[in-house]
Amino acid sequence: MERTLSRYLRLATWGLPKKKKLEIQQELLGNIEILSLEYQVQGMNKTEALQAALLDFGKPERVCAGMTKVYIMPIILRNLGLAALLSSLGIGILSSSTAQIIASVTGRLPINTCNDGQTDAVEIGKAWIPCEGNYGVWIHLPSLKASLEPLGVKVTTNTKNPWLETTFNFPDAKKPLVIKHKDNQNLPVQNEQVKVSPGYVRAIDFFEKLNSIGLPITLSGWNTTKIGVGNTKFQLNSTNNTVSSEMLYFSALKNIFWRDLETTKSSDSLYTVRNWEQHTLSGAAYPHQISVRNVNPENILVIVSREKMLMQNNDLVTMRVYRISRPNSAREIQFYSRSDTINFLKKDFSALKPDEVINTSEIIVKKFTNRLDKNSFEIIPAKDIRILTK
């Protein structure tokens, strides 16, 4: 009996700071004892009474999860803030998950990929470089090849024009993944970059092609995202740099919009995926979202084509929830954005002249909000939420 109780208390306070752990154990113990005594008064023996009391208290993991949110999350948030600050100062922090790296992919930023002053960076040791705008995330193909080949992926390139066409054959895939530079012609800057720096592929193109090779795709983690392509697993970071992979999540999540806005493909709606890609929330909010009704938001499961993708819920960020639905539709999408995004949305864009250039993001927001107004989409800011639970 003692063991049952101490195990319960231990599990209920697992991972908490020692002082807090002892305090909460003491509190729970006192209350469990009282409830247990009450059951004994009703005729149960000690063992039965304790079991009944513990049953009433529910799973210890649930208590633990609740206490973790109260006592651990704020610490993590503070540390994340510190890490971001150090990172912005150029001080790298060694990833704690380095030991789990299956294959690191390194790369460099093609010249002029970004338009925000980070232009001439080279060899900065990141596989994925987030820049302003949605298209500044590239992967270095030679690095990818070097990482994937030891995992059994056969990678071939055109010998006459290396990297202008690259083929990846993943084990058990129904068809190869072929990257051609001519696939990336929808932005002038990309064409320029391809001419200057062949050997790069836009992250979103790479991932979308992954979806078509007939293997289940999994993503887990945010800054040190592990990608699973069938049984092949690799990680998007180098040993001393974490990397953000919002484009991967975005690429997968747009399928939700097709499904939940009740369109089967983008051409069925004015609100094409293209539109979604362009509004500013795609960069700022999607990575931290997303819960579609009827989907368990604790470990968000989203459907990527016919495959499953697991996105770890980011419950470290205080967010707002928006609900979007078509008029008269029973279905809706909820998505979550950080408060800074909300403030951005609150700006008065009505004063903007049609062609006035403030910056790309603001114009995109203006277009987005106009679209919402004109087409009767509902956008309902709800209460701040801190965490998603069942």
Partner 1 sequence: MPDNHLLKGNLDLILLSILEQSEMYGLEITKEVQAQSNDYFKFSLGSLYPALHRLEQAGQISGEFRTPPRGGSPVKYYQLTENGKKALSNKRAEFEAFNSAIRNLWNAR
Catalog residues that contact partner 1 under the rule CB under 8 A.
24, 26-31, 33-35, 37, 56-60, 62-63, 65-67, 69-71, 383
Is 8 or 200 the residue whose CB approaches partner 1 more closely? 8
Is 71 or 349 the residue whose CB approaches partner 1 more closely? 71
The minimum distance between CB 10 and partner 1, in angstroms, equals: 15
**What secondary structure, in 3-state letters, does the chain show?**
CHHHHHHHHHHHCCCCCHHHHHHHHHHHHHHHHHHHHHHHHCCCCHHHHHHHHHHHHCCHHHHHHHHHHHHCHHHHHHHHHHHHHHHHCCCCCCCCCHHHCCCECCCCCCCCCCCCCCCCCCCCCCCCCCCCCCCCCEEEHHHHHHHHHHHCCEEEECCCCCCCEEEEECCCCCCCEEEEHHHCCCCHHHHHHHHHCCCEEEHHHHHHHHCCCCCCEEEECCCECEEEECCEEEECCECCECECCHHHHHHHHHHHHHHHCCCCCHHHCCCCHHHHHHCCHHHHCHHHCCEECCCCCCEEEEEECCEEEEEECCCCCCEEEEEECCCCCCCCEEEEEEHHHHHHHHCCCCCCCCCCCCCHHHHHHHHHHHHHHHCCCCCCCCCEECCCCC
Is 72 or 151 the residue whose CB approaches partner 1 more closely? 72
Given its phi and psi angles, is residue 220 left (phi above 0), alpha (psi -120 to 50 degrees) or beta? beta
The minimum distance between CB 262 and partner 1, in angstroms, equals: 24
Is 58 or 162 the residue whose CB approaches partner 1 more closely? 58
The minimum distance between CB 368 and partner 1, in angstroms, equals: 28
The minimum distance between CB 63 and partner 1, in angstroms, equals: 5
The minimum distance between CB 336 and partner 1, in angstroms, equals: 15
The minimum distance between CB 73 and partner 1, in angstroms, equals: 11
Is 59 or 331 the residue whose CB approaches partner 1 more closely? 59
Is 206 or 335 the residue whose CB approaches partner 1 more closely? 335
Is 35 or 101 the residue whose CB approaches partner 1 more closely? 35
The minimum distance between CB 119 and partner 1, in angstroms, equals: 45
The minimum distance between CB 6 and partner 1, in angstroms, equals: 13
Is 58 or 171 the residue whose CB approaches partner 1 more closely? 58
